[in-house]
Amino acid sequence: MYKHTFLILTLMLSLFSCKKVTKDPNEKLNVVTTTSMITDMVKNIGGNVIELQGLMGNGVDPHLYKASEGDVTKLVNADVIFYNGLHLEGKLEEVFEKMRHQNIKTIAISDVIDKSTLISSEYFASSYDPHIWFDINNWKLAIQFTTEKLKEIDPKNAETYEKNSKAYLAKLSTLQQDILQKITSLAPEKRILVTAHDAFNYFGKAYQFNVVGLQGLSTATEAGVQDVQKLAAFIIEKNVKAIFVESSVPKRTIEALQAAVKSKGHEVTIGGTLYSDALGNPDTVEGTYVGMFTYNVKTIIDALQ
């Protein structure tokens, strides 16, 4: 299936060179994004002056995501592609590499973040934890970077991008204040966040949470029985009240953990579902970055309080 997609991509890329010449300069900039976090960001910056297509919807796991034939068409027709990078979109990396060789603008938003501030990880080929959006300061840098790239590529709308970007950054500053206020109400010893996979390390670093993921940083490897037993012992030792399911990861792993705690004669509740690698339904508040963050923090605080 993947090989087949790749063949189509190669074929379409050869047609692409003809298409590029015929592009009408008055047409809207055609932007393609990968994760729903990036789609929401670009939507906020580009507003109605761009044509925007996000590849990954709600509940989609970027670690496992493969490009469909429809995606390949979207990618080939894009004026610019924004993606997370740091091997978050592990299975698309090869496709992006190919695009880059064909001079399609392919931009990894994580490129802007100083490597010294990234969390190291042995699990990714990049050597870094790719879940950068859970530190709002990182996301602000990514917004500024994306804005600059859009201004460069589409200078006629530079003013719009700049204006939208400023307004969005202000929203994120308000979000930061709100979150800090909520988290301060939770005692430091209660700040233990157990989730399906290690998506929340940047969140933990920013707000002093001890973060433990059952599946490690990527969902590509399943948790073993030993991992479950070890984590169950940790939960009992630290007297953790609640553990969390993630919207983009099957909940059976967290349920297995809950059962393991129970088998040792203890109780741990499932504190709710957190949005980790994808936003909520686009028609809901949680379908935005700001809404997702607010919801996650409320869910965590309510369950651990």
**Residues, the chain:** 305
User: Residue 193 or 199: which CB sits closer to Zn ion?
Assistant: 199
User: Residue 61 or 79: which CB sits closer to Zn ion?
Assistant: 61
Instruction: State the minimum distance, in angstroms, from the CB of residue 131 to Zn ion.
Output: 6
Q: Between the CA of residue 217 and those of 42, 76, 88, 199, 221, what are the distances in Å? A: 25, 30, 10, 6, 9
Instruction: State the minimum distance, in angstroms, from the CB of residue 208 to Zn ion.
Output: 21
The Cα–Cα gap between 15 and 150 comes to 25
User: Residue 89 or 277: which CB sits closer to Zn ion?
Assistant: 277
User: Residue 29 or 292: which CB sits closer to Zn ion?
Assistant: 292
Instruction: State the minimum distance, in angstroms, from the CB of residue 199 to Zn ion.
Output: 4
Note the residues at the interface with Zn ion (CB under 5 A).
199, 277
Instruction: State the minimum distance, in angstroms, from the CB of residue 218 to Zn ion.
Output: 6
3-state secondary structure (DSSP) of residue 61 = coil
Cβ atoms of residues 213 and 202 within 8 Å: no
Cβ-in-10-Å burial (0-12, 13-18, 19+) of 38 comes to buried
Going by C-beta distance under 8 Å and a sequence separation of 6 or more, which residues neighbour residue 7?
A: none
3-state secondary structure (DSSP) of residue 112 = helix
Instruction: State the minimum distance, in angstroms, from the CB of residue 64 to Zn ion.
Output: 10
Supply the angle between the helices 69-77 and 2-21 in degrees, to the nearest 10: 30
DSSP state of 82: E
Cβ atoms of residues 262 and 14 within 8 Å: no
User: Residue 87 or 149: which CB sits closer to Zn ion?
Assistant: 87
User: Residue 79 or 277: which CB sits closer to Zn ion?
Assistant: 277
- Identify which of 118, 48, 51, 58 has the alpha carbon closest to the alpha carbon of residue 78: 51
Instruction: State the minimum distance, in angstroms, from the CB of residue 295 to Zn ion.
Output: 18
